[in-house]
Structure 1
Amino acid sequence: MHGSTSPGWLLVALCAATGVYCLLRMRSTVEDQRRAAGGEAVMGFGMAAMAVPAAAFTPPAWAWSAYGVVFGATALHSLWSARTSPHHLHHLVGAAAMVYMCVVMAVSPGSHHHGGTGVPPLTGALLLYFAGYVLLSGVRLVPAGAVVGSGARGATGWGDRPELARACRLSMGIAMVAMLLTI
């Protein structure tokens, strides 16, 4: 993405860490957790790769097409999976946003704007969607009636902790907003 180097590397680290945690979630005993975690891992690692600052590494022109194909396939998979789980509709929007960013980067590498003034309508719509998603996800992280010191969790593993999965989705939503702001 076109942006300054330090925030770019922080974005890479955030997305890569999220991808790693999603890989851990794929070991869950809950089938629905495993399914969602696979798509989220692809998104996390893909976002990390796309967020590498251009000052550090400028990918070859064909890389944006390759990213677009990967995210296009992810979007198709999310569309198919949305039949059984509405959460996959969010994955579909995320993958479509990534395809959109790949197209923008392929068409205008090195450019910070699209020839006009203001934000393009599709970028604005995606920014509104992901900003709303971030706010909603943040509210969902706040425990309702949480009791301080109640550490009786049972034998849940890292992959079965819904609050960590929500935190990862929140961080990927924040990363998506940051990436959309830079194109």
Structure 2
Amino acid sequence: MHGPVSSGWLLVALCAATGAYCLLRMRSRVVEQRRAAGGEALMGFGMAVMAVPAAVFTPPGWVWTALAVVFGGAGLHALWAARTGAGHLHHLIGAGAMVYMAVAMAGTAGHGHGHEGSGTPLLTGTLLLYFVAYVLVAGVRLVPVAAVPGVAEGAGWGDRPELARACRLSMGIAMVAMLLAV
């Protein structure tokens, strides 16, 4: 990503930590939580790779293509899963945003700082609006988390709903930051 090196490394750390926590959530006893955590782990680690500051390391062009293919596959998986419920639509939009950013980064890989003077594309603006709204809603939902009977006593790291919400909120914030840098 283009931008200050220190904020890039903070995004890398946030996304990698979130991805690692989502891997822990994959040990949950609830099948749907495991599935969601797997997609979120992929998203977290993919975002960490994309957030590495361009001033420090510029990956070869094939990396962006590989990320676009991986997240295109994740998007197809989310689309298939969305037919059973709306809960996977967010994953579909997130995967689409990752494909969009990978393609944008592939286009700017050899051109310095990218879109200077071209303005904000409509798709970037639409994705920004979606993720800002998602962050606001997720933040509101996080504040009054009520204790779920029976969960707190014997719950492992994978079964803590408040931590899963915080994970999703942090990835939403990171997505907003990354879209602003595209």
Normalised TM-score (structure 1): 0.92
- Structure 1 gaps of 5+ residues are none
The residue number in structure 2 matching 1:135 is 136
The residue number in structure 2 matching 1:50 is 50
Partners of 1:124 and 1:32 in 2: how far apart? 31
Greater percentage in helix: 2
The residue number in structure 1 matching 2:177 is 178
Structure 2 counterpart of 1:167, one-letter code: A
**Compared with structure 1, are the counterparts of its residues 18 and 60 closer, same or farther at alpha carbon in structure 2 (3 Å cutoff)?**
same
Q: State the Cα RMSD in Å.
A: 1.9
| Aligned 1:103-182 pairs, distance under 5 A | 103-109=103-109, 110-114=111-115, 116-143=117-144, 153-182=152-181
Normalised TM-score (structure 2): 0.93
Partners of 2:112 and 2:54 in 1: how far apart? 11
Partners of 1:56 and 1:153 in 2: how far apart? 42
The residue number in structure 1 matching 2:87 is 87
Structure 1 counterpart of 2:64, one-letter code: W
Partners of 1:5 and 1:116 in 2: how far apart? 22
Deviation at 1:113, TM superposition (A): 4.5
Partners of 1:114 and 1:76 in 2: how far apart? 28
Structure 2 counterpart of 1:63, one-letter code: V
| Cα contact 1:112–1:182 (8 A) shared by 2 | no
- Per-residue CA deviation, residues 3-28 of structure 1 (Å, 9 max, x unaligned), is 11000000000000000000000000
Q: Percent identical across equivalent pairs?
A: 71
| Aligned 1:90-101 pairs, distance under 5 A | 90-101=90-101
Runs of 4+ in 1 over 6 A off after TM superposition: none
| Cα contact 1:68–1:99 (8 A) shared by 2 | yes
| Cα contact 2:19–2:40 (8 A) shared by 1 | yes
Deviation at 1:111, TM superposition (A): 4.2
- Structure 2 gaps of 5+ residues are none
Deviation at 1:117, TM superposition (A): 4.1
Q: Which moved more, 1:66-75 or 1:84-93?
A: 84-93
| Cα contact 2:152–2:160 (8 A) shared by 1 | no
2:77 match: secondary structure: helix
Structure 2 counterpart of 1:114, one-letter code: H
